[in-house]
C-alpha cells in the first residue's frame, strides 16, 4: 500500500496571519512578514503531525492510493478521511498497462472516520495478478481555513505555536504533543483494525 499527496496546501491558504496574531507578534512594521517562512514551516509541521495522528485530512487536496489487493471484493476502506470524491481508478498490469475503471461502477460511502469504496455491482474490479490498483481521491474538511472545524483549527494553531516557540531546541524536543492539542483532536482519532484497510 502506498499513499501519495498529489498537491501540497498552497501557502496562501495557510493561516499565517492568524498564527501571527495568536503569537502576538508585532504588526504595523515594514518587516511584518520577516517571520512568515518560519510560521509557514510551523504550520505545515502542525498539519502533518495532526493528520498523521488522526488519519484525517485537514485542508482538502488530492491523493493517490496504490494497493496490490482489495481487503474484500465487496468493500474497501480508504486510508484517509473524510473523502469527498473519487476522481479516478485505474488497474495497472505487471507490464505497466493501464485500464481505467468507470467511476459509475463504484460507490463512495462518505464517513468522517472510515470512508468506504463499494462496487455498484457485485464486486470491485479485479486487480491483475502481481499488478495494482491506483485510486485517486480528494480528501479534507475544507478548501479554506474558514471551513475547518473549530477544534481542529484551534489544535493546528496551538501546535504550530508550540513548534514556533521550541524551534531552537532541536533534539531536546521529546516529540509529544501538548495536552491541549491531544484533547482537541481526540474525537478525530480512529482505532485502526487490520491496518485500517478493511471495513
| Residue of 183, 162, 186, 184 whose CA lies nearest to 174 | 162
- How much is the pLDDT for 141? 97
**29 and 42 inside one domain:** yes
Q: CB-hemisphere CA count at 13 Å for 121?
A: 9
Q: How far apart are CA 132 and CA 99, in angstroms?
A: 11
Structural domain harbouring 121? 61-139
**75 and 50 inside one domain:** no
- How much is the pLDDT for 194? 43
**54 and 150 inside one domain:** yes
**79 and 124 inside one domain:** yes
**134 and 83 inside one domain:** yes
Residues of the chain predicted below pLDDT 50: 30, 171-172, 194-197, 199
- How much is the pLDDT for 196? 43
- Residue 3 falls within a domain, yes or no? no
**81 and 126 inside one domain:** yes
- How much is the pLDDT for 68? 96
- Residue 6 falls within a domain, yes or no? no
- How much is the pLDDT for 173? 52
Number of independent structural domains in the chain: 2
pTM for the predicted model, two decimal places: 0.85
181, 163 Cβ separation under 8 angstroms = no
- Residue 2 falls within a domain, yes or no? no
Instruction: Show which of 121, 139, 157 is a domain's final residue.
Output: 139
The cell numbers describing 163, all together, are 513548534
**79 and 126 inside one domain:** yes
- How much is the pLDDT for 79? 95
Please report which helix (H) or strand (E) contains residue 5, including its range. Answer: strand 2-5
**50 and 77 inside one domain:** no
- Residue 161 falls within a domain, yes or no? yes
Amino acid at each position: 500500500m502506498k499513499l501519495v499527496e498529489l498537491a501540497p496546501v498552497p501557502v496562501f491558504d495557510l493561516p499565517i496571519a492568524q498564527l501571527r496574531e495568536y503569537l502576538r507578534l508585532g504588526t504595523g512594521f515594514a518587516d511584518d512578514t520577516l517571520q512568515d517562512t518560519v510560521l509557514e514551516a510551523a504550520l505545515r509541521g502542525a498539519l502533518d503531525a495532526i493528520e498523521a495522528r488522526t488519519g484525517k485530512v485537514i485542508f482538502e487536496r488530492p491523493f493517490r492510493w496504490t494497493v496490490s489487493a482489495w481487503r474484500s471484493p465487496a468493500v474497501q476502506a480508504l486510508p484517509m478521511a473524510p473523502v469527498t470524491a473519487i476522481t479516478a481508478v485505474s488497474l495497472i498490469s505487471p507490464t505497466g498497462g493501464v485500464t481505467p475503471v468507470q467511476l459509475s461502477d463504484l460507490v463512495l460511502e462518505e464517513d468522517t472516520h472510515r470512508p468506504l469504496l463499494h462496487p455498484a455491482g457485485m464486486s470491485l474490479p479485479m486487480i491483475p495478478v502481481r499488478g495494482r490498483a491506483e485510486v485517486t481521491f480528494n480528501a479534507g474538511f475544507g478548501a479554506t481555513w474558514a471551513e475547518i472545524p473549530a477544534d481542529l483549527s484551534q489544535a493546528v494553531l496551538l501546535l504550530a505555536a508550540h513548534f514556533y516557540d521550541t524551534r531552537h531546541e532541536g533534539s531536546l524536543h521529546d516529540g509529544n504533543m501538548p495536552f491541549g492539542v491531544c484533547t482537541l483532536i481526540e474525537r478525530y482519532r480512529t482505532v485502526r483494525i487490520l491496518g485500517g484497510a478493511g471495513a
